[in-house]
Structure 1
Amino acid sequence: MQDDPGMVTTLAGLVIAGREGAWDMHVAGGRITGSRPSQQRGGGVVLPLAADIHTHLDKTFTAARMPCRASSLFQAIDMMAEDAARWTAEDLRTRAETALDRAWRQGTAVMRSHVDWSFAAPPKAWPVLTELAEEWRGRVELQLASLTRLDDLAVIGPEIAPHLRHSGGVLGAFIYRNDDLENHVRAVFDLAERHDLDLDFHVDEGLDPEACGIDVVIEETARRGLGGRVLCGHGCSLSVRDPGEVSRLLDRAAEAGIGLTVLPGANSYLQDAVPGRTPRLRGLAPLQEAHEAGVEVMLGSDNVRDGFFPYGDYDMVDVLRLAVLMGHLAPDDWLDAISARPAGWMGHGLALTVGGPADFILFDATDLHDVICRPRARRQVWRGGAILLEFKE
């Protein structure tokens, strides 16, 4: 639904993310036509739309089919592989479209989904998600990234990379304590340079302090001058490595232009998961220290309702809430981690500007801290100058 192009809607007394004081915002013709300081208060909190740079739409909404609660990352991998053998195009489409609809209605505008790719030929999910990306264009801008074990990528990568280049995808690999690590990583970078592909790694997703795949990725990025095109997700082992070593590594990551995606949901659920014992270690990458070093840190939903993480709902504000609680973050300093920063890495802008689209999330709250405190606060998602959906407390 679009508003009347000739009618101006004024939202008064707003707190707008990133600005001091209260503001009146004017909306007409689907765009923000003006804003000015307001004498009113209590109009609510306006946030930009969200960007979710790390999801798994091929696996989503399969939790009810899992035989048990995964007690480790690798048990989850095995359970999901068994389920994947039974996937059909219809099953994939139904689950992925449900996820996109949930994300859209809760204010996500840009998303990247990793897709398991284990053989030279494209996986069954790839054409399904490619079709959905076209169908959802203008609502959720969906970008796809392949996900292949690093050792396998050395063999089938030359078949995968041209397909990614043709379809606009991102090249991804799973790295964890691999043999011949340096040579395998170099081969991935060779493919990326040859086919002009961005890179997105699942790296060091465990609590072994000897897992140092991210070190090799950082050095290779720096050596080739590929800053801004290489993203590392997870980095759980950084939480248990020597702090001085990690500090130097993060400085080097910032210099190289590496991005870091932290996944508070699935990582806290799977790491140190011993049946019958409360976990002591949650595997949260040192996001405060990375941010302080100058690394561009982002947050993502990761797995949603599958064998890796049976919770979540593609709500990036909820992801921010979880990160704030687990990471002891100041909410106002981390809003960009679910919006402008990941959107920029995916080639989109979500800034709220006069003349720009009237796309935003409006909460019935006093400030962002209040939003974090009250998960059930009324939320309106605005798209094209009209309310798409409203959630009430």
Structure 2
Amino acid sequence: MRTLVVSNVRPWGAEPADVVVTDGVVSAVVPAGSASAHNVAGADPGTHVSAAAGVEHVDGGGLLALPGLVNAHAHVDKSWWGQPWVSYGGEATTQGRIAHERAERDRHGIPGVEPTTAVLREFVRHGTTVTRTHVDVDLGVGLRGIENVRTAAAALGDAVDVTVVAFPQDGVVRRPGVLRLLDEAAAAGATHIGGLDPASIDRDPVAQLDGLFEIAERRDVGVDLHLHDRGDLGAFQVELIVERTRRAGLQGRVTVSHGFALGELPAGRQADLLDDLRDAGIGWATVAPVGTAPLPWRGMRKRGIPVGLGTDGIRDLWSPFGDGDVLRIALGFARLHGLRTDDDLTDAVRLATSWAAPFVGRDVHDLVPGAPGDLVLVDAENVPDALVRVPPRRLVVSRGRVVARDGVVLV
């Protein structure tokens, strides 16, 4: 049995407390100073290990404590982080970016283990302890991307708990052989299979969705579909996804990622579609990009529709932007949706932490007994202050193990 005591922290800005993590799980959250008879000295967060007792003590110095950040939508296999600069190019459409990526990745070399490890290290540095990442599966790379991601995660001692979506970036039915690769990925342990704009990319939404849901039902995996199409076309595809989810009995295991159309619909149709999403148990992942329509996130939360935040691609052939910081994505979400009150700003942080548990296969992800022992310490007055300033992460704990301190990754 191994125990970590993080003493004198303020969970969610509450009164000072000690957080006790035993064998990777939060076992107690008690008033500050009551978790141990040992005195833990030091004004700055520091560590003292009592080897005989198997207890590690970390003085939190009165810092604000949050659960580990959850990146609900990432692409860690295709980042050029830490590599020579690759200029952005191609046409600014989904198909244009796909074509540009396919042409350029062969010239530069498919990102391998090293850049994947580098971007996961950035996740750790910024306090992300768990992620769902979409990994390209296509006729060019096969399943190598998934192997690279698993190797990279292992190289960091699984400091980031990685959930893999096998993602057909170049289309599904328009590329014969991709459905077979997705089936192989599901058989090899991918927890979800993905899809991409069934109407505008494959131009056959029925065939794409039928193929994906047949694999998901047979292999007992989830589905996470990128949907960029706007307006009525996007809404029509959401309705098809709802129907397929119900038919396959996959309630609670299907996610729409991006889904820009939802925020563009008239109020009445939007409300009806939210009711359908609720009844089908479909979640929604967003990266809150500038220029898109705000989501009806309060109506989604009221109905119990899971909403998660993610970084999407990070310095890849689709975009030169991104740094892997989910807290910064939460700030972007707050700005896009015009959030101002303390309660709303705190909710934006919950979307990036505790409320995102369903996207990474967790029943609970919070600073409470029974949750995984993931926490982040920041120097902030309260949660809204932490959101609007996005301060450096002073300490990052993953499954009861200190993995980063003051911006330095320790694994």
TM bracket, shorter-chain basis: 0.7 to 0.9
Quote the residue 1:369 is aligned against. Answer: 384
Unpaired stretches in structure 2, ≥5 consecutive residues: 34-60
Distance 2:70 2:141 in 1: 29
Distance 1:353 1:155 in 2: 46
Question: Could you say what secondary structure the match of 1:85 adopts?
Answer: helix
Distance 1:195 1:120 in 2: 24
| Match 2:29 to one of 32, 35, 60 | 35
- 1:110 partnered with 2:133: no
Quote the residue 1:16 is aligned against. Answer: 11
Report the AA paired with residue 77 of structure 1. Answer: I
Quote the residue 2:86 is aligned against. Answer: 65
Quote the residue 1:193 is aligned against. Answer: 217
Identity level (%): 22
Distance 1:123 1:283 in 2: 35
Residue-by-residue CA offset, 1:327-379 (whole Å, 9 max, x unaligned): 23412223332223434332245332347665311111121101012123563
Residues 53 and 45 of structure 1, relative CA distance in 2, 3 Å threshold: same
Residue-by-residue CA offset, 1:12-37 (whole Å, 9 max, x unaligned): 3x4312xx841321558787664334
Q: Which moved more, 1:93-102 or 1:208-217?
A: 208-217
Distance 1:286 1:314 in 2: 25
Distance 1:158 1:387 in 2: 38
Quote the residue 1:215 is aligned against. Answer: 239
Please report the TM-score for the alignment, with normalisation by the length of structure 2: 0.78
Query: CA-atom RMSD, angstroms?
Result: 3.2
Residue-by-residue CA offset, 1:294-325 (whole Å, 9 max, x unaligned): 21111111111123332221111111111111
Report the AA paired with residue 128 of structure 1. Answer: N
- 1:119 partnered with 2:136: no
Unpaired stretches in structure 1, ≥5 consecutive residues: 269-280
- 1:352 partnered with 2:367: yes
Residues 134 and 24 of structure 1, relative CA distance in 2, 3 Å threshold: closer
Distance 1:97 1:43 in 2: 32
Tell me by how many angstroms 1:123 deviates.
4.6
Tell me by how many angstroms 1:206 deviates.
3.7
Residues 26 and 157 of structure 1, relative CA distance in 2, 3 Å threshold: closer
Report the AA paired with residue 7 of structure 2. Answer: L
Residues 28 and 173 of structure 1, relative CA distance in 2, 3 Å threshold: closer
Residues 93 and 154 of structure 1, relative CA distance in 2, 3 Å threshold: same
Report the AA paired with residue 299 of structure 1. Answer: L
Question: Could you say what secondary structure the match of 2:232 adopts?
Answer: coil
- 1:93 partnered with 2:103: no
Residue-by-residue CA offset, 1:72-123 (whole Å, 9 max, x unaligned): 333322222222223546x422211110111012211112221222329725
Distance 2:360 2:310 in 1: 13
Tell me by how many angstroms 1:386 deviates.
4.3
Quote the residue 2:277 is aligned against. Answer: 253
Tell me by how many angstroms 1:43 deviates.
2.0
| Match 2:301 to one of 274, 291, 312 | 291
Question: Could you say what secondary structure the match of 1:213 adopts?
Answer: helix
Residues 223 and 153 of structure 1, relative CA distance in 2, 3 Å threshold: farther
Distance 1:121 1:187 in 2: 21
Distance 1:386 1:160 in 2: 36
Report the AA paired with residue 165 of structure 1. Answer: A
The answer as to whether partners of 1:29 and 1:385 remain within 8 angstroms in 2 is: no
Residues 373 and 220 of structure 1, relative CA distance in 2, 3 Å threshold: same
Tell me by how many angstroms 1:50 deviates.
1.6
Report the AA paired with residue 166 of structure 2. Answer: S
Question: Could you say what secondary structure the match of 2:348 adopts?
Answer: helix
Quote the residue 1:173 is aligned against. Answer: 195
Quote the residue 1:132 is aligned against. Answer: 152
Report the AA paired with residue 173 of structure 2. Answer: D
Q: Which moved more, 1:370-379 or 1:245-254?
A: 370-379
Residue-by-residue CA offset, 1:234-290 (whole Å, 9 max, x unaligned): 0012222222111100111011100100111xx43xxxxxxxxxxxx4244433332
The answer as to whether partners of 2:333 and 2:348 remain within 8 angstroms in 1 is: no
Distance 1:80 1:368 in 2: 39
Report the AA paired with residue 60 of structure 1. Answer: S
Residues 137 and 169 of structure 1, relative CA distance in 2, 3 Å threshold: farther
Residue-by-residue CA offset, 1:170-200 (whole Å, 9 max, x unaligned): 2111025343423431222112111222111
Question: Could you say what secondary structure the match of 2:225 adopts?
Answer: strand
Residues 69 and 44 of structure 1, relative CA distance in 2, 3 Å threshold: farther
Report the AA paired with residue 104 of structure 2. Answer: D
Q: Which moved more, 1:94-103 or 1:156-165?
A: 156-165
Residue-by-residue CA offset, 1:128-152 (whole Å, 9 max, x unaligned): 2232244345311222212222433
Alignment of 1:47-62 (within 5 A): 47-61=66-80
Please report the TM-score for the alignment, with normalisation by the length of structure 1: 0.82
Report the AA paired with residue 307 of structure 2. Answer: V
Question: Could you say what secondary structure the match of 1:222 adopts?
Answer: helix
Distance 2:249 2:370 in 1: 36
Question: Could you say what secondary structure the match of 1:220 adopts?
Answer: helix
The runs of 4+ residues in structure 1 deviating greater than 6 Å are 28-31
Report the AA paired with residue 215 of structure 1. Answer: E
| Match 2:292 to one of 282, 290, 295 | 282
Quote the residue 2:47 is aligned against. Answer: none
Task: Figure out how many residues of one structure are paired with residues of the other and give that number.
Answer: 368
Distance 2:18 2:301 in 1: 32
Distance 2:284 2:21 in 1: 38
Question: Could you say what secondary structure the match of 2:323 adopts?
Answer: coil
Distance 2:248 2:21 in 1: 47
Residues 360 and 75 of structure 1, relative CA distance in 2, 3 Å threshold: same
Distance 2:276 2:401 in 1: 43
